[in-house]
Amino acid sequence: DAKTTQPNSMESNEEEPVHLPCNHSTISGTDYIHWYRQLPSQGPEYVIHGLTSNVNNRMASLAIAEDRKSSTLILHRATLRDAAVYYCILRGFNAGGTSYGKLTFGQGTILTVHP
């Protein structure tokens, strides 16, 4: 799996937007960009994913660079409940059953949200 690089930690104030960056310079053309987050002492939860175009859902937005070598997860208005570790993960397209859906987690970005 291609590697991703994220800052170790970021801080934000409540109600402000948060931009969490991820570099993935070795991404292949068929790799999807996934984001998961993990609250303390809980299992990770899916946030969003994308391939080439920017994506929006109820939790966040994903902005993907034109060359796909980087992406940014955007939380439009941070709340205290958004304090978590955010993981940026690349997942290859399953061709011929060679990809078994494994998620390769790095260390992620610890997001601290201040009241």
Partner 1 sequence: DGGITQSPKYLFRKEGQNVTLSCEQNLNHDAMYWYRQDPGQGLRLIYYSQIVNDFQKGDIAEGYSVSREKKESFPLTVTSAQKNPTAFYLCASTVGGSSSYNEQFFGPGTRLTVL
Q: Is 42 in the site for partner 1 (CB under 8 A)?
A: yes
Q: Is 40 in the site for partner 1 (CB under 8 A)?
A: no
Across the chain, the runs of DSSP E, i.e. the strands, are 9-13, 18-23, 32-38, 45-50, 55-56, 61-64, 70-75, 84-91, 109-114
Rounded distance between C-alpha atoms, residue 96 and residue 57, angstroms: 30
Q: Is 27 in the site for partner 1 (CB under 8 A)?
A: no
Near partner 1 by CB under 8 A: residue from 27, 31, 73, 109: 31
Near partner 1 by CB under 8 A: residue from 43, 66, 81, 115: 43
Binding site for partner 1 (CB under 8 A): 30-32, 36, 41-46, 49, 51, 87, 91-94, 97, 99-108
